[in-house]
């Protein structure tokens, strides 16, 4: 008798899904990092770096969009790899996804109290509890982090519809306020400052490469759209456009921020600014502008946290439905239809992160960024394999360029992975901590794989395809 398959409810609109990808992609990094990036690469290097990086990511997004339209199920990368490359590779892709999203969730859980401490240090930087890796952990920040974790636990517990509403409202506020604020700051900028910021300390080629090396981190987020595919109410074909839209809007935003800083801040002042984007807006809007940018930063962090919370719980659910995690992870709430146990795990990871502090979690985030790129690689390889082996497979959306698009996506994934792993790269992991964490995660995943090997061999492929993809072997292929 065939095992019953748990199915998530259709609850998310196109705007909800776009807000998931774009909200996760934009984040907070543009506030703190772009000053040093302009110093190294110049504003032209930054623009070209993100133009090239965005184009490379778009090829990955195209492969992801085609596969999402064909297989609109949660834990997309895991499902695509299962269909194309089999159970063993699907296990590794699923592990990379779970590690990546939980690590990103933990990082954002710590970042929310930190930005509140930046705004109100007298409130949130009091009553230190202990020190982790040289950074103090404060009681008010711990309390705030716990409250946020419980709030998002409740939002996700009640259902994807409420999550979608909250995420959409936040991203609409960000887009309207953000583009208006940056647009006016650009209009009132000083062309002389822009000219002196055109070139950085590095040669043009090295400057562009330094930006490309960091692009893998700045574009994390569009890959969360396939995690929402199963709960998406509209035609699966539209998922591809939403993935592309999040990458394109994110690229435009990054370029505009770089130009705004270059137009507003003299080159000599950039090294002295810890929040260059906020300082640039303050040149036009005064002190109010500084706080507007910090408010946008709060929204960016919260939307990334929210999308990571949602995506982590859905990936855990998808892996459990495919028998790679305990069955309890695949049980749905009888009233709300939500995967309550994965949601609880996500909340627990968020709370644990608050107690670890920013420095320790930052190591995990940097180390696991490499895993994000590895599951990008799996998606691209799955795309090529299915184009070759199943040319007649139902594809509501077909990526332009055919197999060539997949080849470029594979090369892009390898490049982004090497930019994180090679020690001489500008975006390389920090020795020895982050390399050690990366290796430890690989060892743990290998041990679990060895323990699960008998189950993976005994379970028929048709059963996996039914549980993960909802297809019945050759009948519905």
- Give the CATH number of the domain where residue 375 resides: 1.20.1740.10
Q: What is the DSSP letter of 130?
A: E
Domain containing 382 equals: 14-468
Any domain includes 52: yes
Please give the C-alpha separations between residue 170 and each of 54, 113, 221, 451, in angstroms, as whole numbers: 24, 18, 16, 43
Point out the residues of the chain with pLDDT beneath 70: 1-2, 360-362, 364, 472-477
Question: What pLDDT sits at residue 1?
Answer: 54
The whole model's pTM is what? 0.92
Any domain includes 288: yes
What is the sign of the dihedral through the CA atoms of 43, 49, 55 and 57? negative
Question: What pLDDT sits at residue 10?
Answer: 93
The span from the CA of 112 to the CA of 144, in Å, is 8
Q: What are phi and psi of 138, to 5 degrees?
A: -105, 145
Token pair for residue 139? 């009681």
The span from the CA of 328 to the CA of 319, in Å, is 11
Any domain includes 211: yes
The span from the CA of 323 to the CA of 47, in Å, is 44
Any domain includes 6: no
Any domain includes 421: yes
Q: Are 458 and 466 in contact (CB under 8 A)?
A: no
Contacts 24+ apart (CB under 8 A), 388-392: 389/84, 390/477
Q: Of 108, 127, 146, which is closest to residue 358 (Cα–Cα)?
A: 108
Question: What pLDDT sits at residue 436?
Answer: 85
State how many domains the chain has.
1
Any domain includes 230: yes
Q: What is the DSSP letter of 397?
A: S
Please give the C-alpha separations between residue 43 and each of 37, 180, 195, 257, in angstroms, as whole numbers: 8, 21, 9, 10
389 Cβ partners below 8 Å, 6+ apart? Answer: 84
* Largest Cα–Cα separation, the chain: 74
Any domain includes 475: no
């Amino acid at each position: 008798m065939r095992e019953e398959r748990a199915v998530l409810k259709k609850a998310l609109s196109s705007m909800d899904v776009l807000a998931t990808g774009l909200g996760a992609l934009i984040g907070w990094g543009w506030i703190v990092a772009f000053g040093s990036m302009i110093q190294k690469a110049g504003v032209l290097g930054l623009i070209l770096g993100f133009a090239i990086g965005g184009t490379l990511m778009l090829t990955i997004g195209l492969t992801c969009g085609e596969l999402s339209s064909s297989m609109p199920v949660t834990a997309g990368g895991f499902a695509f790899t299962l269909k194309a490359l089999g159970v063993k590779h699907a296990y590794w892709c699923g592990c990379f996804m779970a590690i990546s999203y939980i690590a990103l969730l933990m990082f954002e859980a710590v970042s929310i109290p930190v930005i509140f401490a930046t705004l109100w240090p007298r409130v949130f930087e009091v009553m230190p509890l202990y020190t982790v890796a040289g950074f103090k952990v404060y009681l008010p920040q711990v309390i705030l982090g716990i409250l946020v974790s419980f709030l998002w636990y409740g939002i996700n517990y009640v259902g994807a519809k409420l999550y979608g509403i909250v995420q959409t409202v936040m991203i609409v506020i960000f887009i309207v306020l953000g583009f208006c604020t940056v647009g006016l700051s650009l209009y009132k900028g000083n062309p002389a400052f822009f000219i002196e910021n055109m070139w950085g300390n590095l040669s043009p080629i090295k400057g562009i490469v330094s930006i490309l090396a960091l692009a893998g981190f700045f574009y994390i987020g569009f890959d969360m759209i396939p995690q929402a595919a199963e709960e998406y109410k509209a035609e699966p074909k539209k998922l591809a456009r939403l993935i592309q839209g999040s990458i394109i809007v994110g690229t435009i935003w990054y370029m505009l921020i770089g130009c705004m800083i270059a137009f507003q801040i003299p080159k000599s002042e950039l090294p002295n600014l810890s929040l260059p984007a906020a300082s640039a807006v303050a040149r036009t809007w005064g002190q109010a502008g500084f706080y507007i940018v910090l408010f946008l930063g709060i929204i960016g962090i919260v939307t990334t946290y929210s999308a990571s919370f949602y995506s982590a719980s859905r990936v855990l659910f998808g892996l459990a439905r495919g028998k790679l995690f305990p069955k309890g992870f695949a049980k749905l709430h009888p009233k709300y239809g939500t995967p309550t146990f994965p949601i609880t795990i996500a909340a627990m990871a968020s709370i644990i992160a608050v107690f670890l502090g920013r420095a320790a979690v930052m190591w995990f985030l940097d180390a696991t960024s490499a895993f994000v790129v590895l599951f990008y690689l799996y998606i691209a390889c799955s795309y090529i394999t299915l184009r070759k082996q199943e040319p007649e497979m139902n594809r509501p959306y077909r990526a332009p360029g055919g197999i060539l698009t997949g080849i470029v996506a594979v090369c892009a994934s390898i490049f982004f992975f090497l930019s994180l792993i090679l020690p001489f790269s500008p975006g390389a992991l920090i020795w020895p901590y982050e390399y050690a964490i990366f290796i430890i995660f690989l060892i743990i995943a290998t041990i679990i794989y060895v323990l699960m090997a008998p189950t993976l061999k005994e379970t028929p492929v048709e059963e996996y395809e039914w549980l993960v993809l909802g297809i019945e072997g050759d009948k519905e292929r």
